[in-house]
Amino acid sequence: MTTIQIELPDATVKAAQAEGLLTSQTLTRLLSEELCRHQAAARLLKIADRLAEADVAPMSMDEIDAEVKAARAERQRRAAGH
């Protein structure tokens, strides 16, 4: 376990304390969630680079909408046990 010390504006500390955000458990969760977002963004950028290299044509909004609807329908079908 590592101990860290940071400097924050007093108003930020007071507001965070009032919300119960300055506990080790909460800060660990917040940092973990942020790390996951950064990792997801990095993966997305790698995919975008690979798509650009492959010269894949961008999808239209209608195509994207159709893909989203199909994915949702599949998820509902699986949830229903089919």
Instruction: Assign 81 a pLDDT band (cuts: 50, 70, 90).
Output: confident
pTM for this model (two decimals): 0.61
Buried-exposed string 44-59: b where 16+ CB fall within 10 A, e elsewhere: eeeeeeeeeeeeeeee
**pLDDT score at 52:** 87
Residue 2, domain member (yes or no): no
Residue 59, domain member (yes or no): yes
Residue 35, domain member (yes or no): yes
Q: For the chain, how many structural domains are there in total?
A: 1
> pLDDT > 70: what percent of the chain?
100
**pLDDT score at 27:** 96
Residue 1, domain member (yes or no): no
Q: What is the pLDDT of residues 18-42, one digit of tens each?
A: 999 999 999 999 999 999 999 999 9
CA distances from residue 7 to 4, 32, 80 in whole angstroms, order as listed: 10, 20, 51
Q: List the domain range (segments joined by +) for residue 17.
A: 10-79
